[in-house]
Amino acid sequence: MSAALMIRRGLVVLALAGAVVLGFRLVEDLGQLQRLEGDRAELRHARYGMLDTEQWTRRLSAVLAERIADFELDDRTRPRVLATLTEAIKVLIGEIERQLSLNAPPRGGDWLTQLQGTLHQQLQSRLIDFDALRAQAPRYAERLLAALEGPGTEAAIRAELLGLLTAATPTEVEHSPVLKALLERHGCAEVGACAAALERETAALRPAIDQQLGVLLGLAALIFALVAWGRARERRLDGFALGAAIAITLVLLLTALFSPMLTIEARVDRLGLEFLGESVVFTDQVLYYQSKSLFQVVEILIRAGGADLWLVALLITLFSVVFPALKLLATLVYHRAAGAPVAAPVRFFALRSGKWSMADVLVVALFMAYLGFDALVANQLDTLGATEATVLTTNGTALAPGFYLFLAFVLANLVLSSLIERGAGERRR
C-alpha cells in the first residue's frame, strides 16, 4: 500500500468519524432548538393575546379609565355631552309613552271596556303632550348639564364610573394549564419575560447549528472528493472507498430523517387598533407554528388514524427510508460481487433505482410546500387590512437544516450511483 493511499484513507476515516460525531450533535441541538422554538411559539400564541377576550377587556378598560380620569366639562366637550343628553331624554320620553300605551285597557270586548279604553286615551293625550315634551328635550338637557357642573359633581361621577369599570375588569391574570407548565419548566413568572429568554437561547444556539451543518456537508464533500480522486488515480473503486461513500451517504440520510425539514410560522408582528383616540397594540402574535422532522410527520399521520393518512405515512416511509436504505445495501452487494452475476433486485437497486427514486421528488415537494404556504399565509392575513386595524404580518416559514441534509443525501446518492455505473461499464469493457 502506497503512502498516498494510506494518507488518503486516513483522511477519509477522520472525515467520516467527524461526520458521525457532528451528525449526532446536530440532531441533539436541532431537537433542543425545536423544543425552545415550540415553547416560545406557544407562549406568544394569539389565543393568549389578541384572541383572548380578557386581554381586550384589560386594554380597553385602561383606555376608558384614562379617558374618564381626564374628562372635564368645558367648552370643547360641552356640546357633545349636551347632544348626548338630549337624545337620551328623547329616548326616555318615547319609552314612557310606549309603556303607557301598553298599560291602556284593550279596545276589544264589550262596550264598557271600549269606553274605558277611549276615555283612557283621551285623558292621556289631554294631560300629557309627548310631542311637546320631546320639543323641550334640549332645555331639559341644559338644566341637567347645569346640575352636573355643580361643585364636586364631576369628581363624584368620575369616581363612580372608575369604580364600576374597575369592578368589571379582571385584575388577576389566570394562565391556562399549558402556560403554567411552560412557565414552571423554564423557571419564569411572566409570559413576556419567559418568551424573551427563550428567544435569546434560540439566538445563541442557531450559529452553532449552522456551523455544524456547514462542517458536516463539507466533510461529506471532502470524502466524495477523496473517493473520486482515488478512483481516478487507481482507475478502480476499491471496497474501502465504496464503504466510506456509502457510510457518509447513510450518515446524511439518518441525520436528515431526524432533523426538522421545514419550519412553518404565521405571525402577526403588530396589530394596532384606534379606540377613543388611543392605540391598542398587540405585538408578536403567533397564529400557527410547526417544525417537524420526517419521522415526526410519519408519527403524527399514524396517530391521526384513517386509511388515507396511513397510506401517506407508508409512502413517505417507503420512499424516504426503505428505498434509500435498500439502494445503499444493494450498491455494496453489487460492488462486492466484482462482476459476478447478481440477483435482478440487487442490480435494479444498485444501478437503476435512481431513475425511479422519489427522493428528489420529495425535496421538490417540500420546497413547493414552503413557497405555497408562505404565499397562502400572506394572502389570508392581508385580508385583515380591510378593517380599521393596522396589521403588520411576518411569515416565518423557512427551510430547516433537515432539508439541506436530505438534499445533500440525494446528491450523494446520485454521485454514488454514477461511480457504480461507471465501474460496471469499465468491468464490461
- Give the Cα separation of 280 and 282 in Å (integer): 7
Is pLDDT of 136 > 80?
yes
Q: What is the pTM of this model?
A: 0.67
- Give the Cα separation of 399 and 408 in Å (integer): 14
Stretch among 135-139, 179-183, 321-325, 407-411 having the lowest mean pLDDT: 321-325
Is pLDDT of 387 > 80?
no
Percent of the chain clearing pLDDT 90 (strictly above): 15
Q: Which pLDDT score, from 0 to 100, does residue 138 have?
A: 85
- Give the Cα separation of 349 and 247 in Å (integer): 17
Is pLDDT of 377 > 60?
no
Averaged confidence pLDDT in the chain: 75
Question: Which of 40-44, 123-127, 393-397 is modeled with the greatest confidence?
Answer: 40-44
Report phi then psi at 307, rounded to 5: -65, -40
HEC assignment per residue over the chain:
CCHHHHHHHHHHHHHHHHHHHHHHHHHHHHHHHHHHHHHHHHHCEHHHCCCCHHHHHHHHHHHHHHHHHHCCCCCCCHHHHHHHHHHHHHHHHHHHHHHHHHHCCCCCCCHHHHHHHHHHHHHHHHHCCHHHHHHCHHHHHHHHHHHHCCCCHHHHHHHHHHHHHHHHCCCCCCCCHHHHHHHHHHCCCCHHHHHHHHHHHHHHHHHHHHHHHHHHHHHHHHHHHHHHHHHHHHCCCCHHHHHHHHHHHHHHHHHHHCCEEEEEEEEEEEEEEEECCEEEEEEEEEEEEEEEEHHHHHHHHHHHCCHHHHHHHHHHHHHHHHHHHHHHHHHHHHHHHCCCCCCHHHHHHHHHHHHCCCHHHHHHHHHHHHHHHHHHHHHHHHHHHHCCCEEEEEECCEECHHHHHHHHHHHHHHHHHHHHHHHHHHHHC
Stretch among 111-115, 266-270, 310-314 having the lowest mean pLDDT: 111-115
Report phi then psi at 130, rounded to 5: -65, -30
Q: Which pLDDT score, from 0 to 100, does residue 64 have?
A: 74
Q: Answer whether 216's CB lies under 8 Å from 22's CB.
A: yes
Q: Which pLDDT score, from 0 to 100, does residue 212 have?
A: 95
| Assigned C-alpha cell, 160 | 363612580
Residue 193 CB: number of other CB atoms within 10 A? 13
Instruction: Please report where in the chains the cell 425552545 appears, as a residue.
Output: 36
Q: Which residue from 401, 37, 384 is spatially nearest to 255, judged by alpha carbons?
A: 401
Sequence-distant (≥ 6) Cβ neighbours of residue 11 within 8 angstroms: 222, 226
Percent of the chain clearing pLDDT 70 (strictly above): 67
Q: Which pLDDT score, from 0 to 100, does residue 119 have?
A: 58
Q: Which residues of 324-356 are buried (b: 16+ CB within 10 A; e: fewer)?
A: bebbbebbbebbeeeeeebeeebbebbbebbee
Residue 95 CB: number of other CB atoms within 10 A? 10
Q: Which pLDDT score, from 0 to 100, does residue 376 have?
A: 47
Is pLDDT of 318 > 70?
yes
Q: Which pLDDT score, from 0 to 100, does residue 306 have?
A: 75
Q: Which pLDDT score, from 0 to 100, does residue 169 have?
A: 62
Is pLDDT of 357 > 80?
no
Q: Which pLDDT score, from 0 to 100, does residue 173 have?
A: 58
Residue 262 — pLDDT band, cuts 50, 70, 90? confident
In tens, the pLDDT along 192-241 reads: 889 999 999 999 999 999 999 999 999 999 998 988 887 777 676 677 88
Is pLDDT of 353 > 80?
no
Q: Which pLDDT score, from 0 to 100, does residue 323 have?
A: 78
Instruction: Please tell me which residue, 195 or 128, carries the higher pLDDT value.
Output: 195
Q: Which pLDDT score, from 0 to 100, does residue 137 have?
A: 84
Is pLDDT of 128 > 70?
no
Q: What is the mean pLDDT of residues 309-332?
A: 77
Q: What is the mean pLDDT of residues 257-267?
A: 83
Q: What is the mean pLDDT of residues 347-356?
A: 62
Q: Which pLDDT score, from 0 to 100, does residue 358 have?
A: 52
Q: Which pLDDT score, from 0 to 100, does residue 370 have?
A: 47
Is pLDDT of 325 > 70?
yes
Q: Where are the domains of the chain?
A: 3-53+176-428, 74-148
In tens, the pLDDT along 44-87 reads: 888 888 777 777 777 777 777 777 676 666 677 778 778 887 88
